[in-house]
Each structure stands twice: as C-alpha cells, then as structure tokens.
Amino acid sequence: MEILIVEDNEEIAYLQERILTANNYDVTRASNGQQALELLANKKYDMIISDILMPVMDGFQLCKTLKNDPKTKGIPFVFYSASYTEKKDKEFALKLGADIYVETPIEPDEFIKIINNYFENMKEGKIKPREYLFEKENNVEKIYSERLARQLEKKVSLLEKKIAENNELMKKIKESEEKYRLIFDNTEDVVCLMDLNGTITFMSKSIEIHTGYKDVELIGKNIKEILSPKSYNEAKKRIELRLNGMEEELPQYEIEVRSKNNKLLPFELNTSPIYVDGKLSSISIVAREISERKKMEAEIKESEEKFRSYVENAPDGIFIANLKGNYVDVNKAACEVTGYAKQELLKMNLMDLIPEEDKEIASNSFKEVVAHGKMITEISFIKKGGEKRYWIVEAVKLSEDKFLGFTKDITNRKKLEAEIVLLHNAVEQSPAIVIISDNQRNIEYVNPKFIEVTGYTSSEAVGKKVSFISGEPFSEKKEKELWKAISKGNEWQGEFKNKKKNGEIYWELASIAPVKTQSEIITHFVKVAEDITYRKLAEKELKEREETLKGILSAAPVGINYLQDRKFKWSNREMAEITGYSEEELVGKFPRFLFESDEEFERVGSILYNPVRSQDVIEVETRYKLKNGDTKDIYIRNSPLDIKDLSKGYITLVMDITDNKKSRKQLDENLEYFAHLIDHIRNPLAILSGFVQVKVEDEKTKDVVIRQVERIEKLLKELDQGWMDTEETRKFLKRYM
C-alpha cells in the first residue's frame, strides 16, 4: 500500500516516512496541500496523512477539497498535527471528512498501530472512509476563520518564545567561548595566534607543560626568540606565502622550539589564516610536541634495520625482479628453495625457473602484478638439478620497475591435497555409509552409499540433523553414552534402527568419531556405517531357532549340559531333576560335588576329557551324589563342540540308569536260575534216552519214547535260545553290554 505524506516540516516528514517504510508501506511526500493535489491528479493513493498548518494550502483546505471531489473522497484522510490540539479543532477536522485525527507527540509504535488497525477494519468491512458533513459553505468558512485566527495567535506566542530562546542561545554561545578557552588552556596541544610580523598575540597555557614558559611570558614576543634559526626561516617563508595570497591549507611541518632551559624540542605545526573584513590579519597555529614520536621514529628505523635482517633470514623465499622479470635481489631462503647461489639467480629471469607447461601462467601472473599492483598464484618450478616442485607466489609492486615476490614451497601440501582427493574418492566410492556433521549434529556431507541405501538425495540430507533418519526414539541412556564418548574425543560404536525415504526400516552398525583441530577443539563428527539389515534378520531367525532349540533341550528327558574347563556353563531342567540342584546352583561350578569321591571325579574326568581321543563320543557310567544325600547310577555321554579345539567345551548327556541297573541284575539272576533249571532237566532226559536205547526192546515203544525225548530236548533248546532273542533283551544288551 502507498501512503501520501503532506508535511512542510522536513524532520517530521522524514520521521513519518521511516516509520511507515519500516512497516512495509510505500511512501510519497508533498510539502503542502497544493503539491499534494498535483500528485493526486496523476496517481491514486491508499491513504493521505497531512499536517494542518502549511504554506500555500493548509491541511483543512486540502481535506475539504478532496472530500468534495468524487474521485478522491473515498481515500482515507488522517490529520497528524501538534498545532491544532483543541477539541473544536478535532471536531472541525472530522466534519470535513477526516477519518483519523492523530495528536502529537505520539510514540512510533502507537502511531503505526493506529494506521494498521484502520486498514484491517476497512478490509473486514467494519469501517469506510468518512464523508464531508457540512451542508452550508458559509458555516465552513466561519469555523475555518475562527480556527485559523486562534492558530495565528498561538503562532505569535511561539515566535515570542523563540526570540527569548535566541537570547538564551546567545548567552550560551558566550559561555561556550569561555569553555573553549578553558579547553585550549588545558589541552596538551599548544594553540597560538600571531600577527603577520611573527608577534605572538595569544598562547595557550599548555605551552608551560612543554617549554617551561608561562603563556604571559611569550605573549608580545616574536617567534624568533623561541625558534631555532632553521625553524624561524621556515616560518618566515610560510608567512610570506600567506601574504602573497596562498589561501589553501599548507601542509604540516616540523619546527624546533627552544625551551626555557635552552633545550630544542621538536613540534609539528598546523597553520590556518585568519581574515578580518576579507583581509589576512593573523595566523592560527596548533602545535604538538613530537619528542616521543621522534623517539618512536628512531626506534622504527632501528626496527626497519632489524626487518631487513629478518627478510634476509626469512624462511620463505623473497625475490625482487625488474620490469623485464630479471632478478635484482634475492634472500637466503630463495637460494635454498631453488638450489641456486645468489650470484646465479641474479643472472636469471623468473621464466628460467618455470617449466614449459606453466610458462603461460607465469607470464600472465607477472602481467597482472604489473597492471594491478599485486597477484597471488600457485605454480610449479624447476629446482637446480631438474627436480620439479611447487610453490605459492604472492607478488606486489614496489615501484614502476621493482616487484617483490614472496614464495613458499608447497610441494608437500600438493602431495597432501592429492591424498585428500584420493581419500575423497575413496569415501565417495566406499561401500560403507559415510555422514559428516558439524559439532551441532547438522549434516554437511553424505556419500553416494547413503543416497543409495536411504533414498534421500544429498540436498535433502544436508542441513538436517543426523537423527532425521532415525526409525525409533533414541534411549536416553544410549544418547548419554554416545555423546559422552564423542564429546570427550573418543570413538563410539553401536547399532541404529533407521528409516529410509520410502518408510522402509533398515539397521546399521555405525562407528562415530570426532574431528578435532590441532588445539583439540571438536569441529565435526564422522559417522561410518554398514547396512546390517540382512544380518539382523539372520540374527533374529537364529535367535528364534536358538529359543526353539533351547526349549527342546529344556524339555528333553535326559540331562544336557554345556561344560567348559570342566565348569557347567549351561544345564537343562532334566539335569536339575536328576541331581536335585537348580540350574542356577549348577551353572558356574565344577561337577566335583556330584561325585562320591575325588578318585571317582578324577577317573570320570580322565575318560571324558582325555585330550587324546580315539572317537568323538565317549561314554562312561558312574554314581552321582544328589542334593538330598541319595545316590544314583548315572550314564554320561560326552562329545566336544570342536574336535580340533577342545577349549571350546563339551556337550554331555546324563541319564539316570538306577532302575535299569536293578532290572539288569534281576534279569541276570533269573537267567542264571533258568539256565540251571534247564541243565537239571537235560540231565534226566539224557539218562532217560540212554536207558531207553539200552533197556527197551520193543521197537515201537522205544521209538515213541525216543521221539518224546527229542521233542522235549528241542523244546528246551528253543526255550534256551528264546530269552536271548527277545526285542527287550536285545535293547538291554545293546545299551549296557
């Protein structure tokens, strides 16, 4: 929006313009009502802010004219005035059609608030520009005349007040003159006036600080009495220049003033002519003692001598060449870096050191320093002996025919830069994800692998926090652990669950390390990460299988243990059932407490853990002492995890065979009895068979008896073999025999 300011006071108009433009309003200024009408004839404005009392056409007349014109009556009109502040002034202004009446002074914030509120209310339809309310023209003129007369009275009053203020100002000017005199008298610089004959007409009291003379001792004397002859002659020349019409300021110059104790003191002078009625009447002098400066200049001169020594012994090569590029002077380091002696270099041109492929660069660089006075470039050179090296050259123009060049061998830096390029290419082509952030965790670089894995482009990632790809809230503990490590300059390693651009979750194994300056200040962090999503899935599947296997092992009907160095590392539930000890009581202990004696513990151990094994699986029977004091017959089956590395431990199966051993003992006793019984049956049958063969003559009877005996023997034979061939007997023998 554009606002027209109508104000004859330049300062007030400038202030209004600054306030409005600072709040995004465009502003045009007019100095009176007539000028405003001319602007309005060619352009429409969104608001008019006008003073009331102005030359040519005042604000009341302007408002009346605009509100009676169909083209301009819809423009909001604001009065901004400190002159018309009575209630009747405001009422008159509003009846003329003014929309706002701002009484000054007013704070800028309050003023802009009034303007902003008006535009907001008008935009919302709450208000609209006011209209001209006078029906009779003579009423307007009458009120206008009354308000104008009243205002003129105020103006006269203000003028009277102004005259009184001017009188007060003159008084202050006189006081100011006295103050300046006091300043002259108390400043260390000497202020002096002299006439055209060299007679001193005024001298500040500060002269006493420097020379020992009081001001009154010198007023009326000629400067010849306190200046050295050389200085007096110079002063005379300058007075003559002034008398001959030299009006511009003469340059500073130095003189020697003789002190009261006859010591010559150096002063630096500024002189200015004083004219009365257009004629040169006297000369003002401001002098400053420069004894300390002279001392400093001597020290500087001495320093320059030292500097020349420093240049000669500077670690960087320094060359001075003429306009043709021929060397005219070099320092010791220049000889060392090039391998040439000083006498050799002074016979050479700068192009003699430059290889053919860089001669054009060298020529253009030399032209640049000739034309512009300075240049800096990096270029190769050939050292004496043919070695190609690199230096950075910074040259300045000393004069039209002298050029100073500073050189520094940067061959090692060039090699380092090549290594950096190599490192950058390695990072760019790395199969690992690489992220570099500042010390506030804002990303500054991501490599192509990051883009490939996450789907984010470099521009999408740079500037964001490193955590923007996080797929889950970082635990407070993990957060503290991470930042505690890297903030102290240490490396941190861990896993992150992240989210790709497409929402897919992926896992990474990351290593985060700080980047520090030589002063140990951390400036950046580097994160190198590997996508381990597939490994995590495999680990998850493995864990599920481990849990399944653990469940199977826990539910197995035999005791299962994992032992390392003969200590229980893990035991299942059945092992606890067999021994009476809980899993927690078994794990971490030697199994010695399960055996009835040290000898039995060692015997079993020598069998199960013999490093010289003829087979993978070894079996042994023993007895366990239970937690409740009872004992059990135990069968142990042992197998190493890795036959080639027994230190990895063993898996042992433990079975309670107490009941089996009892059954086997009973079976053995029954078998023995049964065998004995069969033997007792066989003997009578043998006798009976022999008897029949000998004593029975009846062949038919004999045949019948013999057949019956053979039948019984066959039955006994089958019976004798039958208990051996039963399934249960075979299982028993296979397991224990």
Q: Domain boundary residue among 295, 330, 358?
A: 295
- In 3D space, the residue among 90, 140, 79, 138 whose CA is nearest the CA of residue 114 turns out to be 79
Residues 218-239 have pLDDT tens digits of 999 999 999 999 999 988 888 8
Q: pLDDT tens-digit profile of 480-513?
A: 888 888 888 889 998 888 999 999 999 999 999 9
Q: What are the start-end ranges of the H helices in 6-107?
A: 10-21, 33-40, 59-67, 87-95
Q: Are residues 486 and 506 in the same domain?
A: yes
Question: What proportion of the chain, given as a percentage, has pLDDT over 70?
Answer: 82
Higher-pLDDT residue of 86 and 16 is: 16
Quick one: pLDDT at residue 164?
A: 74
Q: What is the band of 737 on the pLDDT scale with cuts at 50, 70, 90?
A: very low
Give the model confidence (pLDDT) of 332-360 as tens digits: 999 999 999 999 999 999 999 999 999 99
Residue 692 pLDDT greater than 60, yes or no: no
- 277 lies in the same domain as 372: no
Whole-angstrom Cα distance, residue 92 to residue 60? 9
Are residues 676 and 630 part of one domain? no
- Answer with the residue of higher pLDDT: 275 or 457: 457
Residue 221 located in a structural domain: yes
Q: Residue 311 above 50 pLDDT?
A: yes
CA–CA dist 556, 577 (Å, integer): 11
How does DSSP assign 128-147, residue by residue? -------S-HHHHHHHHHHH
Amino acid found at 371:
A
Residue 140 has pLDDT above 80, yes or no: no
Tell whether 716 is covered by a domain: yes
- Residue 733 has a pLDDT of 43
- Position 732 scores a pLDDT of 43
- Token readout for 522 is 């951390």
Over the stretch 234-266, which tens digit does the pLDDT of each residue have? 888 888 887 776 656 667 788 999 999 999 999
CATH of the domain at 441: 3.30.450.20
Two tokens, residue 603: 């015997």
- Average pLDDT of span 361-384: 93
pLDDT above 90 as % of the chain: 39
Does residue 290 register a pLDDT over 70?
Answer: yes
Question: Is 163 among the domain residues?
Answer: no
Is there a single domain that holds both residue 323 and residue 394? yes
d(CA 212, CA 263) in angstroms, rounded, equals: 10
Over the stretch 164-185, which tens digit does the pLDDT of each residue have? 776 776 677 666 656 666 666 6
Residue 527 has pLDDT above 70, yes or no: yes
Return the pLDDT at 668: 62
Mean pLDDT for the stretch of residues 606-634: 89
Give the SS3 label for residue 614.
coil
Residue 11 has pLDDT above 80, yes or no: yes
pLDDT score recorded for residue 338: 93
Domain edge (last residue) among 90, 106, 134: 134
* Backbone torsions φ then ψ of 561, nearest 5 degrees: -135, 150
Same domain? For 582 and 480 the reply is no
- Residue 301 inside a domain? The answer is no
The candidate with the shortest Cα–Cα distance to 73, out of 40, 51, 34, is 40
Query: Do 252 and 191 fall within a single domain?
Result: yes
Q: Rounded to the nearest 5 degrees, what angle is found at the Cα of 373, between the Cα atoms of 371 and 375?
A: 95
- CA 74 to chain centroid: 56
694 Cβ contact partners less than 8 Å away, ≥ 6 residues apart: none
What pLDDT is recorded for position 244? Answer: 76
Residues 264, 387: one domain? no
Average pLDDT over residues 702-714: 67
Instruction: State pLDDT tens for residues 61-76.
Output: 899 899 889 899 899 9
Number of domains, the chain:
6
* Mean of pLDDT values over 98-118: 90
Asked, for residue 306, whether it belongs to a domain, the answer is no
Instruction: Verify that 270 and 233 share a domain, yes or no.
Output: yes
Burial class for 528, CB neighbours closer than 10 Å (0-12, 13-18, 19+): buried
Enclosing domain of residue 62: 2-134
Question: In the block, which residue shows the tokens 């090699």?
Answer: 415
> What is the pLDDT at residue 543?
80
231 half-sphere exposure, CB direction, 13 A CA radius: 19
Residue 107 per-residue DSSP state: -
Q: Is the pLDDT of residue 688 over 90?
A: no
Same domain, yes or no: 94 and 191: no
**CA-based Rg of the chain, rounded to a whole angstrom?**
59
Do residues 24 and 119 touch, judged by C-beta distance below 8 A?
no
476 and 585 fall within a common domain: no
In 135-216 the beta strands, taken as DSSP E runs, fall at 190-195, 200-203
For the chain, give the number of residues: 737
Helices 137-186 and 59-67: crossing angle, nearest 10°?
140
Please give the span between the terminal C-alpha atoms of the chain, in angstroms, as a whole number.
Answer: 112
Q: How many CA atoms lie within 13 A of 38 on its CB side?
A: 9
Q: What is the mean pLDDT of residues 189-217?
A: 89
Q: Is the distance from CB of 38 to CB of 62 less than 8 angstroms?
A: no
Residue 273 has pLDDT above 90, yes or no: no
User: Are residue 347 and residue 264 in the same domain, yes or no?
Assistant: no
Confidence at residue 724, expressed as pLDDT on a 0 to 100 scale? 46
Residue 682 has pLDDT above 90, yes or no: no
User: Mean of the pLDDT values across residues 120-149?
Assistant: 74
pLDDT the model gives residue 729: 46
HEC profile of 249-308: CCCCEEEEEECCCCCEEEEEEEEEEEEECCEEEEEEEEEEECHHHHHHHHHHHHHHHHHH
Between residues 233 and 477, the one the model is more confident about: 233
Higher pLDDT, 672 or 505: 505
Q: What is the pLDDT of residue 315?
A: 84
Q: Find the CATH number of the domain harbouring 117.
A: 3.40.50.2300
Q: Among 27-31, 271-275, 696-700, 718-722, which range has the highest average pLDDT?
A: 27-31
Answer yes or no: do 74 and 17 share one domain. yes
Instruction: Look at residue 350 and tell me if it is in a domain.
Output: yes
Is 605 part of any domain? yes
End residue of a domain, out of 622, 639, 656: 656
Q: Determine the 3-state secondary structure of 444 from DSSP.
A: strand
Q: What is the mean pLDDT of the chain?
A: 83
216 in any annotated domain = yes
- Which of 213, 214, 207, 164 is CA-nearest to residue 184? 207
Give yes or no for a contact between 190 and 287, defined as CB atoms under 8 angstroms apart: yes
> Pairing mode, if any, of strands 559-564 and 567-571?
antiparallel
- pLDDT confidence of residue 222: 93
